[in-house]
Structure 1
Amino acid sequence: MQHEPQPQPADELDARAVRTWSSLAVAALGRAREDIDAINVYPVADADTGTNLYLTAESADRALAEALGTPPAGVSGTTADASLAEAVRAYAHGALIGARGNSGTILAQLLRGVAEVLGGEPGERGPGRLLAEALTRAAEEAYRAVAHPVEGTMLTVAAAAARAGETAGAAAASAADVALAAYDGARAALADTPGQLAELGRAGVVDAGGCGLVAVLGALWQALSGRQPAAEAVRGRAVPVPQPPRPCDADEQGGPGYEVIYLLEAAEPDVAQLRERLDGLGDSLVVVGGDGLWNVHVHVDDPGAAVEAGVVAGRPYRIRITHFGDERRRARGERVQRAVVAVVPGEGLAGLCAEAGATTVLIRPGETPDAAALLDAVRRAHAREVVLLTGGADQRAVAAAAAEQARADGVRVAVIPTRSAVQGLAALAVHDPENSFDEDVVAMTAAAGATRYGELAVAERQSFTSAGICQAGDVLGLIDGDVAVIGSGLDETAQAVLERMLGSGGELVTLVLGPEVPDALAERLEAYVQHGHLAVDTVTYRGGRYSAPLLIGVE
């Protein structure tokens, strides 16, 4: 359970203040996420802005905690030795690599702008003046990142916050006073958004992204002042403004059918050309980042072309493609034709599957969901046809029971008995709702079956295994469910498992890292694969909390 730190009232901009701000922002967005989702009508009425902002802030918070060596969102921590520059740069970087959706991508760029100022030399500027300049830079960077800025959006709210902060900063106000002025300016701007953007006015709501930004700025003021913003202080915050709600019909809106997001390693001149190519392919283009690493977001009808443009510019990875059709229909309460429900061990894996369009059931190690939980997920998917991906052999019986109950409700259900999360990812990768149900199920089953799976685990006690006797603390390398390697460390055991799995061939290696496993391990394993198997590609994901130390898939 996440605990909010207690802010210490002080006119200081230091690493501790940034850490507190981050934790409070995650908590504020967590409280508001469902309500913000409910008022999300622009640029796409897909009811996910609150969730995207929350996940982006959570990624930033996690990166900051790791950089400062502090427990995630803990009350106590050791930030005394960390500099302000280290804190804000880690905070912005975490948002960049974890940015979700249009709103999350803009939030990442706002934090980058803040980091550019607060991470530099303060000179003769006091904390208040420094913060005011940081907020101004943030708004400027956000506007530059959006290909075609629209007023009445999160950008408008950011600009208003910056202007109010500048006015306070010019009067030699404290950092807390500047934060309060920015917060108040953002609240006022948010209340005006329905009159600036037709989609908001028709739906009777304030801008969802701006609503989330107000929550983030409120957290900043709370971190610096020790005072908590009043929930009722923001007109329209997380609730519609007082007008009869008339959500815009997504089909009337038209627009591209897919959202494409990826991280990109590329030089700045190549990114400039990428912007031009993507701008011609679709809309809602936002490219944020710098120093060789970028987060690209665009809405297009041809997602393959958007990814190919990234390949031309540099190296795209963590590619996420979302089809808007199903999301829009769900937001309007309509049944979609087909959905996927996946049982996954790990929060990061659940996020990956959700990004691929699946409804997820998160389980802990050794846990088996009951039929009621799976049936609830099938019903939440709100589809006429459901493909159910089990997470292991021990879950087949409950999956079959849930499927039978769902069929009694009139839902057509097919169970694909995946035995590992990497098989589920492989099945999701070929899922095509445009195919017939039977064709889709056959293709997903074939992809899962063609994926060999491996896993690293740590032995809890001495035991007999198919590879010999292991001792407590040994690293076990499992292939297709059986212990194949017993080692003393993650690196050598993982390499031995990979070598055996690739001995029978393969074109793609998927690595899913557990929460305690460093990124350096993935880099070493990628280099190991490239050195010995030149034709094999490697993709890496974070499994998150509750996932195994390492999962390996070979297709």
Structure 2
Amino acid sequence: MPDRRLDATALRDWANTAVGDLITHTDEINRLNVFPVADSDTGTNLLFTMRSALAAAESAVGSGDVSQLTAALSDGALHGARGNSGVILSQILRGLADVTASAAADTDGALADIDAVLLGAALRHAVGLVVSSMGGQLVAGTIVSVLQAVAETIQQWAADGAGLGEALTAGADAGFAALERTPDQLDVLAEAGVVDAGGRGFLVLVDALAATVTGHAPHRHAYEPGPPRIESVAAEPAPPQFEVMYLLADCDAAALDPLRTRLEHLGESVGIAASTADGDRYSVHVHTDDAGAAVEAGLAAGAVSRIQISVLNTGGARHSSGSWSRERAVLAVVDGDGAAELFGQEGACVLRPDAALADPANGVTARELVRALVDTGAAQVMVLPNGYVAAEELVSGCTAGIGWGIDVVALPTGSMVQGLAALAVHDPGREAVDDGFSMARAAAAARHGSVRTATEQALTWAGSCEPGDGLGIAGDEVLVVAADVAGAATGLIDLLLVAGGELVTVLIGDGADPTVADALADHIHRRHPGIEFATYPTGHRGDVLLIGVE
């Protein structure tokens, strides 16, 4: 398969893949985190920073100019930077933005894609930006060592005429080799028996980029803390108590050195990262025992916003609760373009089964569910599985989400019609337990069934069927056999209304006869006067119709 051009679409795909891969490797990276502070959050910080970059890139949809997209990635990372590693990542993306902006200016127009020469130059520029943001001193054995190895290798291969895919593959392998050397370069890593956590996280991003371009994901073994490679030295002083971060605007460049000096006096791991080469916005980071003084130092230099003060945890691995942008969200698993639009209009976040699956039932994996939970950006998430997530995957995914610090409530919706019933009573203003109970009760009260077309001759509880017959199904049993879909649907609706009801909802799937909605509306008007009837062309796969009665 030929290599893919690294154009705007490919860059968005890379950012999306990078977020997914960071979710997979976050625990691994966190366990490696011993430098500069053993607070077990490097993987989490990289993930949330990359999520912020991806969100900014997705908001720039429609632009085919690579320089505009890299600027969005850089800006999103700077504004959403988490921790020391997040600040570094923002500068790596800024390196990409600066170099592509310069290339676009040289061509007097939009930049269509990034080649090996540009990528190598961007990463080389990023090395300088990262070192500068961290005070001007390159510490061997850190993420900078891995970044430098990748940049140099890509530049060398590009100079020899290699294409982007070849150069990226070689660069990723060089990054892996550099990561393996980090314990030999930094005593604290050797003492803990680990490689550098930031370097491991950066390698995840490089591997994701290589996979995006070449179609082949490099295979890397998982890293776990091993036995110390050297004997531990005397105990180090206790690290600072707090991590302080904020955005700084309206700051004159002359004020940066005094600010850095003041922050270095107050603590360690000082980082001041600029948004653009000529901008006046900065992301400021420091570990300190005096959080108030660190903020005051920023106020003396400019306008401070988005202040984050967190207690540094040095007691071992943990999951961060994340930077949630809202209190509560509903995550609905749906199939079909119409269904995605319908649930989205009602305020739900949407997760869809893989479009390549012939049958979407139970088609969502735990990993996909975790990714969607994190992407909601909410501290509390009500999950509507709607029959598209197997029980074991649902439990596994929700448990992992809880481990991320998300309050996850999985509601018993076995069909999208039950999901709509639950969503109709959702009220984010109520307490979570009250909201969850009300939604679960509404879902349970919605009797539901489906209609599909028979594909073979068979004997059912409702009699024998032939290929092409309509089958009305409820509770996994065939209750109605009719000559066509409309006949099966009217028979099933009659059965569901035996116990009463005020509203019949029918979701019309992909390939259904467009006249079936009118036929059902006419039937309900004649046989069940006073009953409300609603149809939605959801375009779902599998069953032709999904029917609910409330």
TM-score bracket for the superposition, by shorter chain length: 0.5 to 0.7
2:381: which partner in 1? 363
**Cα deviations by residue, 1:168-218 (Å, 9 ceiling, x for unpaired):** 121121122222222111111100011111111011010000000000011
1:310: which partner in 2? 298
Distance (Å, rounded) in 1 between the aligned partners of 2:434 and 2:289:
37
- Residue 18 (structure 1) aligned with residue 11 (structure 2): yes
Distance (Å, rounded) in 2 between the aligned partners of 1:91 and 1:346:
25
Distance (Å, rounded) in 2 between the aligned partners of 1:184 and 1:83:
29
Q: What is the SS of the residue equivalent to 1:119?
A: helix
1:257: which partner in 2? 241
Distance (Å, rounded) in 1 between the aligned partners of 2:118 and 2:84:
28
**Cα deviations by residue, 1:417-451 (Å, 9 ceiling, x for unpaired):** xxxxxxxxxxxxxxxxxxxxxxxxxxxxxxxxxxx
**Cα deviations by residue, 1:89-121 (Å, 9 ceiling, x for unpaired):** 111111111110111110110110111112222
Kindly indicate whether the alpha-carbon contact (under 8 Å) linking 1:344 and 1:391 is maintained by their aligned counterparts in 2: no
1:162: which partner in 2? 151
Higher alpha-carbon deviation: 34-43 or 121-130: 121-130
Please give the root-mean-square deviation of Cα atoms over the aligned residues, in Å: 3.8
The counterpart of 1:178, out of the listed 122, 144, 167, is 167
2:348: which partner in 1? none
1:243: which partner in 2? 227
The letter for the 2-side match of 1:261 is M
Distance (Å, rounded) in 2 between the aligned partners of 1:252 and 1:142:
26
The counterpart of 1:222, out of the listed 202, 211, 216, is 211
Distance (Å, rounded) in 2 between the aligned partners of 1:220 and 1:85:
17
Distance (Å, rounded) in 2 between the aligned partners of 1:91 and 1:377:
28
Show the 5 A alignment for 1:55-66: 55-66=48-59
Kindly indicate whether the alpha-carbon contact (under 8 Å) linking 2:7 and 2:114 is maintained by their aligned counterparts in 1: no
CA 1:365 to 1:22, structure 2 compared with 1: closer, same or farther past 3 Å?
Answer: closer
Distance (Å, rounded) in 2 between the aligned partners of 1:295 and 1:176:
33
Kindly indicate whether the alpha-carbon contact (under 8 Å) linking 2:190 and 2:228 is maintained by their aligned counterparts in 1: no
1:71: which partner in 2? none
CA 1:252 to 1:173, structure 2 compared with 1: closer, same or farther past 3 Å?
Answer: same
CA 1:396 to 1:215, structure 2 compared with 1: closer, same or farther past 3 Å?
Answer: same
Show the 5 A alignment for 1:121-160: 121=103, 127-147=115-135, 148-160=137-149
Name segments (4+ residues, structure 1) moved above 6 Å. Answer: 245-251, 396-399
The letter for the 1-side match of 2:262 is R
Q: CA deviation at 1:31?
A: 0.7
1:29: which partner in 2? 22
1:119: which partner in 2? 101
Kindly indicate whether the alpha-carbon contact (under 8 Å) linking 1:63 and 1:93 is maintained by their aligned counterparts in 2: yes
1:329: which partner in 2? 315
Kindly indicate whether the alpha-carbon contact (under 8 Å) linking 2:116 and 2:155 is maintained by their aligned counterparts in 1: no
Q: Which consecutive residues of structure 1, in runs of 5 or more, have no partner in the other structure? A: 1-7, 69-78, 334-342, 348-359, 367-372, 382-389, 400-555
Kindly indicate whether the alpha-carbon contact (under 8 Å) linking 1:45 and 1:250 is maintained by their aligned counterparts in 2: no
The counterpart of 1:293, out of the listed 281, 285, 309, is 281
The letter for the 1-side match of 2:60 is A
Q: CA deviation at 1:20?
A: 1.6
Q: CA deviation at 1:346?
A: 4.8
CA 1:249 to 1:35, structure 2 compared with 1: closer, same or farther past 3 Å?
Answer: farther
The letter for the 2-side match of 1:184 is D
CA 1:278 to 1:248, structure 2 compared with 1: closer, same or farther past 3 Å?
Answer: farther
TM-score by length of 2: 0.56
Distance (Å, rounded) in 1 between the aligned partners of 2:185 and 2:57:
36
CA 1:396 to 1:248, structure 2 compared with 1: closer, same or farther past 3 Å?
Answer: farther
Report % sequence identity. 36
Distance (Å, rounded) in 1 between the aligned partners of 2:402 and 2:171:
41
The letter for the 2-side match of 1:278 is L
Distance (Å, rounded) in 1 between the aligned partners of 2:234 and 2:35:
10
Q: Which consecutive residues of structure 2, in runs of 5 or more, have no partner in the other structure? A: 108-112, 320-325, 331-377, 385-397, 407-427, 438-550
How many residue pairs end up in the alignment? 341
